[in-house]
Amino acid sequence: MAKNRFHGGSGPSQRQLRVGELIRRRLAEVLGQGEVHDPDLNRMSITVAEVRVSPDLKIATAYVLPLGGQHAPEALEALIRNRHELRRVVARGLALKFAPQLRFVLDDTFDRMDETRRMFADDRVQRDIAAGGEPDDGDDDDL
């Protein structure tokens, strides 16, 4: 029995990665050139950080963030509202057998990076790093 690529520890296939990147580039181009007939969406500068494609290539999830991270809920709503037109316009520029259904998710990568930076700046973490990594839990049973 074949394993689903999202289960069992293996990542996406090379085909999924390649198609995801093609869709990401095309979607970024469409959004950058204002090819959608929605003035609200065309006024926004939206970054498409990543596109993940399902194993059957029928669903593409785009991780997006408006420039500067401001008005993210409005940008997400505009993308969702225009997803059918975006699907048609993006598919027209790609040589795919099926036009994938587009889903949009706010990209939280920068938020996670900020949290990681804050964590590493913490005095306790800095002490642990300087001490060689492992925090001292007071348990001397390891000797």
- Model confidence pLDDT, tens digit, residues 10-34: 788 999 999 999 999 999 999 999 9
Report the predicted TM-score, pTM, of the whole model to 2 decimal places. Answer: 0.70
**C-alpha span between 17 and 87 (Å, rounded):** 18
Average pLDDT in the 100-128 region?
73
CATH superfamily of 14-107: K homology (KH) domain (3.30.300.20)
> Concatenated DSSP letters for 69-121?
GTTHHHHHHHHHHTHHHHHHHHHHTS--SS-PEEEEEE--HHHHHHHHHHHHH
Do β-strands 59-66 and 101-106 pair in parallel, antiparallel, or remain unpaired? parallel
Residue 58 φ/ψ region, left for φ over 0, alpha for ψ in the -120 to 50 degree band, beta for the rest: alpha
118 class by beta-carbon count within 10 Å (0-12 exposed, 13-18 middle, 19+ buried): exposed
Average pLDDT in the 78-95 region?
93
User: Model confidence at 4, in pLDDT bands (50, 70, 90)?
Assistant: very low
